[in-house]
Amino acid sequence: MPVDPPRPKPPPLNALRAFEAAARLCSFSRAADELAVTPGAVSQQVKALEDWAGVRLFTRTPQGVVLTPAADRILPDVTRAFDGLGQVAQTLRSAAGNRLHIAALPAIAQLWLAPRLPALRAAMPEVTVSVSALEQPPNLLREPFSLSLFLAPEGEGRALARDELFPVCAPDLAKRLQRPEDLAQVPCLSDSTWDGDWQTWIAVACPGLRVSGPSYSLYSMAVAEAVAGAGVLIEHRPLIDSHLRAGTLVQLFETTVVSDNSLTAVAPQSKKKGPTQLALDLLVFECDAKER
């Protein structure tokens, strides 16, 4: 009679994924956001893994969670394993060679990328180009994006355009503004994501100046309002360069603050020259041509 005893069960994959995210981020709530589940679900998955292994992985404190020595020991290996799975997924998705999925900051997607999409489609007619607007850069080792476009510090990817800050407005409004102090008399528009832009510029151009005006949750809406003459906006040069060239917005005063960030493209590492590398080459060429 053959002997076929039950085999030990492997660790549950979802529980390992929940552990890895919670351990890497040192937070159940942040792990829940990343995995698109509830913090309670992350806690349950972690407990299932602890029960399976027979060892505590986290110490709960009023300030959050702290890794136990056992968890600290296995985290690097688990992270590498999930990064490897993500790379396998990227390789599988790129095997067809006919899809390009770009992740971009909403303002970059609307104001910088959208005008360039026709050229990308024309250069790659056989490729389906998709765009997702995200508030935070994706983890390209884990998430199935071909390319990401965000404002990031030098060295984090391929810098396409340096970010610079200065006030702009419609030409008719500009005629009324002769010096920075005049900004106190007009609405100064701001974006809720970059609500510190005005103070950054004022600290250099006119310390002590106080300005006020409406705030918008979409930078593209703030730009549209500035074009319509509703007020003055601190601009990010890469995002409204087309308006400056067209003359629908003009720069006020001479002071420009150079940001620590650049409009940066990041792509997963690949030895294969496919749609991602072609798209990146086209975007780099277009940006270099504008600077010449």
pLDDT in tens, 196-255: 899 999 999 999 999 999 999 999 999 999 999 999 999 898 898 889 999 999 999 989
34 and 167 co-located in one domain: no
104 and 119 co-located in one domain: yes
- For residue range 15-65, list pLDDT tens digits in order: 999 999 999 988 898 899 888 899 999 999 999 999 999 999 998 887 778
142 and 283 co-located in one domain: yes
Domain count, the chain: 3
Residue 8 domain flag: no
Q: What is the CA radius of gyration of the chain?
A: 24
Rounded CA separation 138/121 (Å): 23
Report the CATH number that the domain containing residue 71 is assigned in CATH.
Answer: 1.10.10.10
DSSP, collapsed to helix, strand or coil, labels residue 263 as strand
Residue 156 domain flag: yes
- Look at residue 141 in the predicted model and tell me its pLDDT: 80
Residue 6 domain flag: no
Q: Report which DSSP code applies to 187.
A: -
224 and 81 co-located in one domain: no
Helix axes of 39-53 and 13-25: crossing angle, nearest 10 degrees: 110
192 and 142 co-located in one domain: no
Report the CATH number that the domain containing residue 197 is assigned in CATH.
Answer: 3.40.190.10
Q: Report which DSSP code applies to 141.
A: T
Residue 68 domain flag: yes
155 and 179 co-located in one domain: no
Residue 214 domain flag: yes
User: Which range marks the domain in which residue 117 is found?
Assistant: 99-160+262-291
Query: Of residues 88 and 182, which shows the higher confidence score?
Result: 182
State the pTM of this model: 0.76
Q: Which of 15, 13, 26, 17 is nearest to 68 (CA)?
A: 26
